[in-house]
Amino acid sequence: MRAAISIMVLSSDRIFADALRLVLSGEVDLRVVAPQVLGDGADAETMLAEVDVILIDATADRGAALAATAFMRERCESADLLVLGLGREDESLLDFVQAGATGYVLQDASPAKLIEAIRGLHADQTFCSPRIVAAALARITALSSAPKQAAAPAHPTLTDREREILTLMEKGLGNKEIGHALDITVQTVKNHVHHVLEKLSVHRRREAVRLAYEIGLLREPASPWTSFES
């Protein structure tokens, strides 16, 4: 005779968990261990060695259910994690899958459908709706574009006028000289200098110029010596 499938129920609703245990206890091949309240990870962890399927109730507290899914996946790699109570258009369903859930039962499913899902997961059967496949592909596509975004320049963006101000600062010109060179008032120069220092997160002009060289906003002056290599 095959051993019964050992099941743990995690829910923030004790009445729901007890009722679910009563429904499942009517099946000879299913055995439910004591229900656990979501968040009582330490107590639940003591039973994980004998658990085959963990039912995680997401009807009342979605955040706690998602945290419980990740917690149980980390603590018990061999158990199947079955999430209960999600809607057909629930955007968080894929988050549960990424957290480690191996199956889900929608909120309008019958007890018979739940029992079928438990037996199917334990038999290594995979159930996945076309919507989940589409959502997963969309998530993968978004993640694949992340490195391109990360490769974007890390230095702050300066306006054309601010770059002109920075170049003249590098030459050692003061506010009055910069104003004369660009035909703008001294107060306008001060405003631009302030913005440049703020964007570069520095307090002095010399620091701004040095940082500008380091991040490529300014180019080091070319050497007057020419190097010949044989």
pLDDT tens readout for residues 27-76: 999 988 865 655 554 455 556 667 889 999 988 778 888 888 888 888 88
Q: Rounded mean pLDDT of the chain?
A: 77
Determine how many CB atoms are found less than 10 A away from the CB of residue 17: 22
Domain limits, the chain = 5-138, 160-215
> Which pTM was predicted?
0.56
pLDDT tens digits along 175-210: 899 999 999 998 999 999 998 998 888 888 888 888
CA distance 63 to 95: 11
Domain 5-138 top-level CATH class: alpha beta
**Inter-residue contact 16 to 43 (CB < 8 Å):** no
Q: How many CB atoms lie within 10 A of CB 71?
A: 19
Q: Determine the CATH number of domain 160-215.
A: 1.10.10.10
- C-alpha of 96 from chain center: 12
